[in-house]
Amino acid sequence: MKARTVVSSAYLIIVTEHRGRRLVLSLRGELDVCNKDLLAGAIGGALERGARMLVADLSALDFMDCSGLSVLVETRKQLAEGQGQLVITGSQPIVRRLFHLMDLDSYLDPGAPGAVAEGSAPPPGANS
């Protein structure tokens, strides 16, 4: 059974879809110091419920700063400690550039532009 949850702030929308022990997070907008806690909360709740595979679909994320990147780094560490996995898909060039500038593109593998997590819903507003 698939459950879908939407949380949002002024500049970020996160749609989560639970599929067994896998969680797909589709992010839309801007992820920065002002709303990183929204993502951290969504991820924390999923990890508490036992998610072992987390897919972060960044195809509709227009901007991310280092604070947003730090949430993904910490998530990868937590999942790896428990034999879990973080998969990042669909990063836009501006987001991929941040991964590269911070020398994290091989550690996190930001995914090819346009790639969307298999079975994930289109990002909110994609059909607008």
Q: Sketch the domain layout of the chain as residue ranges.
A: 2-108
Q: Where are the alpha helices (DSSP H) in 17-65?
A: 36-48
Angle between helical axes of 66-81 and 93-101 (0-180°, round to 10): 70
Its pTM surpasses 0.75: yes
Tokens of 26: 């589709």
Amino acid, res. 9: S
Q: Where are the alpha helices (DSSP H) in the chain?
A: 36-48, 66-81, 93-101, 105-108
Give 8 or 125, the one with higher predicted confidence: 8
Nearest of 102, 53, 58 to residue 80 by alpha carbon: 53
Across the chain, what does the average pLDDT equal? 86
* Domain at 2-108, CATH homologous superfamily: STAS domain (3.30.750.24)
Q: N- to C-terminal Cα distance for the chain?
A: 27
pLDDT (tens digit, 9 = 90+) per residue, 55-87? 999 999 999 999 999 999 999 999 999 899 999
With beta carbons less than 8 A apart as the criterion, state whether 51 and 83 touch. no
Nearest of 114, 120, 7, 105 to residue 54 by alpha carbon: 120
